[in-house]
Amino acid sequence: MAYNKLQTMRDNIEAIRLALRLDVEHRNAENALEREILRKYAGFGGLKCILQDANELADAAKWSKSDIELFAPTVELRRLIHDYSKDDREFAAYMDSLKASVLTAFYTPAPIIDA
C-alpha cells in the first residue's frame, strides 16, 4: 500500500478530534469505531507541511506544489487544536509539540511493518 500523505493527515486529524473530545468528556474510547479511529493516528513524521504557516489563505502561496493539497487539512488541524485550547499559550504548546514530532517521528512503510 502506497503512503498517502493526504489520507494520513485526515486520519491524524480525526484521531486528534476524537482524543480531544474524549478528554473533554473525561472518558476512554468505548467502542470499536472509536478505537479504530485512534489506531489510525500515525503521527506527523512524514508531514512536514505542519511546519509551514497555515493561518490564512495567503499563506498557501508559500507552499510547494507537492504539499499544497495538505494546506486545507493543515488549516483544519490548526483550527481544531485552537478551538480545544484554553488559551493561546496552550495552543502554541500543542503546535510546538506537533511540529517537534515532525523531526522525531518517522513513517514506516506497511511492507516493512508486515515483514
Q: What angle do the packed helices 71-84 and 88-104 form, to 10 degrees?
A: 130
Quick one: pLDDT band at residue 2, thresholds 50, 70, 90? very low
How large is the average pLDDT for residues 38-60? Answer: 90
pLDDT (0 to 100) of residue 106: 64
Number of domains in the chain: 1
Read off the pTM: 0.84
- With respect to residue 115, please indicate whether it lies within any of the assigned structural domains: no
Per-residue pLDDT of 57-66, as tens digits, reads 999 999 999 8
- With respect to residue 113, please indicate whether it lies within any of the assigned structural domains: no
Answer yes or no: is pLDDT of 45 > 70: yes
Residues spanned by the domain of 31: 5-108
Report the distance separating Cα 1 and Cα 40, nearest Å.
15
Answer yes or no: is pLDDT of 1 > 60: no
pLDDT (0 to 100) of residue 115: 58
How large is the average pLDDT for residues 25-33? Answer: 96
- With respect to residue 64, please indicate whether it lies within any of the assigned structural domains: yes
- With respect to residue 77, please indicate whether it lies within any of the assigned structural domains: yes
- With respect to residue 80, please indicate whether it lies within any of the assigned structural domains: yes
- With respect to residue 114, please indicate whether it lies within any of the assigned structural domains: no
- In whole numbers, what is the pLDDT of the chain averaged over residues? 89
